[in-house]
């Protein structure tokens, strides 16, 4: 795993601004059937509509 200094991260931020970079909005379709690998099964799938991904609103348990 690489580590970056604050200066390097600032340089990256400046480069992204100069390139007019805008992050892609990601929407996850929770109504779609889940991918089930061979040998696996799903006991229950509750459809949840569209989920608009925002890392600030997601936490790991």
Q: How many CB atoms lie within 10 A of CB 31?
A: 11
pLDDT score at 60: 84
pLDDT score at 39: 96
Q: Is the pLDDT at 61 greater than 80, yes or no?
A: no
Per-residue pLDDT tens for 4-55?
A: 889 999 999 899 999 998 888 899 999 999 999 999 999 998 999 999 988 8
pLDDT score at 29: 94
- C-alpha 39/C-alpha 33 separation (Å) is 17
List the chain domain ranges.
Answer: 24-61
Q: Is the pLDDT at 1 greater than 70, yes or no?
A: no
Q: Is the pTM of this model over 0.75?
A: no
């Amino acid at each position: 795993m690489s580590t970056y200094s604050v200066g390097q991260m600032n340089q990256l931020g400046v480069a992204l601004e100069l390139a007019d970079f805008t992050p892609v909005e990601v929407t996850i379709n929770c109504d779609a059937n889940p991918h089930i690998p061979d040998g696996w099964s799903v006991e229950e799938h509750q459809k949840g509509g569209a989920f608009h991904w925002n890392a600030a609103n997601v936490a790991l348990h």
